Structure 1
Amino acid sequence: MRWTVLPSPVGDLTVARTDAGIAGVWFADHRGGVSETLADSDRDGSGAAFGDVREQLGEYFDGRRTTFDLPLAPRGDAFARRVWDALREIPYGTTWSYGDIARRLGGIGHSQAVGVANGRNPISIVVPCHRVVGHDGALVGYAGGLWRKRFLLDLEEPSADEGGRLF
């Protein structure tokens, strides 16, 4: 695995990739940290292997990109990967609740498990876990901090009038 640090409007992002794709995008003070994942990895000081990520994140923060087209290779169990796939279905500028995702996965009683998997999403922003809110629309839990979640939702807000549910 290779990794680098990219600057962003929400602080430095540590980005890791394998030959299969992006394995992680973490905030500098990401809850849970990244040290275990990167322990046996090589830092790409120049960031040369991350040009596609740099470009797409830049377009996202500039408001010119609403979806990401990057190969992804997150590490997680089968249920977590199903949740992360569901997160990628949440349209830009909208929010879903944990219950909404649980229903999509066929089990309304799985909201808490969805919350755990959502909290372990290793690919922040690209896999938009920031678009998940509580059943009442409240901002709850975010590994990068609620201020970042609010920033990202505000960044996407202009699309909310396209039929999305923004609290």
Structure 2
Amino acid sequence: MEGMTWVWIVLGILAAVVVVIAAILVGLGAARRRLRRQIARQQEQAPAFPDWAREHGYTYSAAFPESDVEHLRGLGALTPFSDFVFSRAEHVFRAAEGGRMRYLLQLTVFSDPGPEARPRGALTVAVAQVPRSAAVADVREPAPSRGQAGVHAHGRWVTSYRGGPLTLESMEIVEGRLDQHLQRT
């Protein structure tokens, strides 16, 4: 009789492992479907990006301009740039304010560096360069709730970021949070 107890314990553990694995797979599938829906919404809105950029004082580029690589030295220490090894900036909105750069962009995350790699995730990011007098050592403000933007300031750069592909709505959220942070400093 005692041998049967161990069998039930082992079967219970195996069943629990199967349930956990199934829940993980369902969660990953739901996340992948949500990302695809968000990217489809972005593709619908993309033709309006150049007009939005002009209305808000930005220039728009579908890919990150090589000429701006030098401007962004030092961003590697900032969230979300420090979180991912394989990422690419896309849908870049760029503006110069008083000699300082400001960007809105999509940081697309990949699982490998190949040109045919499929995106695994995306974040909407607003980046602003601040005057030397406003530089800080390291300030992190997590997003107050899901769907909102977090902030990370380090040195002369401040980022505001939110999960999900760049859309008109997500741009307004990260830009608003960035402006809110900059007004307090």
Using structure 2 for the length normalisation, give the TM-score: 0.21
Using structure 1 for the length normalisation, give the TM-score: 0.23
Higher relative CO (Cα under 8 Å, sequence separation at least 6) belongs to: 1
Whose Rg is larger? Answer: 2
Q: Which has the higher strand share?
A: 2
